[in-house]
Amino acid sequence: MLKKYFVLIGITASLLLLFIAMMVYPGGSMFDKNSVGFDLTKNFISNLFGAKAVNGSDNPARYWADAGMIMLAVSFAIFFMRFSEKIPQKSAANVIKYAGAGGMIFMFLIVTPLHDVMVTIASTLFLLSIFYITVFILKSKLHGFKVLCVMSMLIFYFTLYLYGSGSFTYLPIMQKVTTLNMIILILLLEYFTTKEDFEHILNSSKSNDK
């Protein structure tokens, strides 16, 4: 039973740890170095990982935030490995499994000084896996998931565009929206899809080859 709900438990624990980190963050953001506490509309999640807060104070939030990122990365990695088992096409399943789970190593390394490089690598591998999942969702009869997957990818791409273009005004907000959106998507895919939802795709491919 515990194994079945590990993704849910892990994500819940990670969100709790990150929430605690936000509560104990001393203050400061790129918009106002003298601000107090963590502002969801002004602070980036990465502000939680530094030894010093943006305002120069010692940052007790980093320990909670680091633990939260570990739990989130592990939970996502388990999801990608489990979901790959639902995909009947071996090559696609391997991409979802190894790019998705492997990318979570780089996701955790976002907490290090290599943040910008790790964001790029982790985002690329994550989106590659989600793209493969979306392709199979689009071939399935899971109509609600089709809309959700496409919308989730568009939100993610838009946030990356803001990040890459240096448009930071709304980026802190979109960062949280994207993270929450992907968490919801992953939980729904984990618990409301089955291997049977995709079996007909392989059968259709075999019929077309004949």
Q: What is the 3-state secondary structure (H, E, C) of 54-108?
A: CCCCECCHHHHHHHHHHHHHHHHHHHHHHHHCCCCCHHHHHHHHHHHHHHHHHHH
Lowest mean per-residue pLDDT among 82-91, 111-120, 140-149: 111-120
- What phi, psi does 71 have (nearest 5°)? -65, -40
pLDDT of residue 207: 47
pTM for this one? 0.92
pLDDT of residue 1: 67
Per-residue pLDDT of 41-75, as tens digits, reads 999 999 999 999 999 999 999 999 999 999 999 99
pLDDT of residue 110: 86
**Rounded-to-10 torsion of CA 177, 178, 179, 183:** 100
Per-residue pLDDT of 167-180, as tens digits, reads 899 999 999 999 99
pLDDT (average), residues 120-131: 94
Q: Report helix, strand or coil for 199.
A: helix
43-52 residues labelled b (16+ CB within 10 A) or e (exposed) = bbbebbbbee
- Cα(35)–Cα(10) distance, integer angstroms: 31
Inform me whether the pLDDT recorded for 112 exceeds 90.
no
pLDDT of residue 203: 62
- Cα(164)–Cα(160) distance, integer angstroms: 6
